[in-house]
Amino acid sequence: MAISQRLRGYMDRCGTRFDEWPHEHSSEMARAAQAAHVPGRQVAKAVLVQAGDEYMLAVLPSSKHVSFNFLQQWLARDVSLAEEHTTAALFPDCELGAIPPVGAAYGLKTIIDDDMLMDQDVWFEGGDHHTLVHMNAENWRRLQKGAGHFAFSI
């Protein structure tokens, strides 16, 4: 597979520079981080959530978990994990479990955990379990223009 064409097109339109890091198949973010020799806090994972009647991406370090209580308080509505069939429908060019943490490329609102704004480099899966995308923090912020952020991971 490789990087999602939709993601690649979005990154190109944003003028974002990035590197691709192929690695052995890994369906676990921790193993993908190990393969790239980077700490889990620098690897962004995307979790598709349903907030009321809207779907959005929650983006956080792969070493952490979403606190649905924090999300519900901040969004002031019920928040739950989206069902797998919904994820497949919204990300048809991605393998399950490898959705890119760039909601704007898919027309989705994005909420970023504050911890993802701390490091100089960010890594993430770009649509498959064989390739990590790497970019510097400046390019990461450019991709996330318009995204909300606060501390919601534990």
> How far apart are the C-alpha atoms of 41 and 17, rounded to whole Å?
21
Q: What is the mean pLDDT of the chain?
A: 90
Q: Are 79 and 51 in contact (CB under 8 A)?
A: yes
CA distances from 74 to 50, 70, 128 (A): 14, 6, 31
Assign a CATH topology to domain 5-150: YbaK protein (3.90.960)
pLDDT computed for residue 102 by the predictor: 97
> How far apart are the C-alpha atoms of 66 and 112, rounded to whole Å?
11
The residues of the chain scoring below 50 in pLDDT are none
> How far apart are the C-alpha atoms of 78 and 49, rounded to whole Å?
10
> How far apart are the C-alpha atoms of 91 and 105, rounded to whole Å?
10
Taking the domains of the chain in order of start, what are their residue ranges? 5-150
pLDDT computed for residue 39 by the predictor: 72
Give the pTM.
0.91
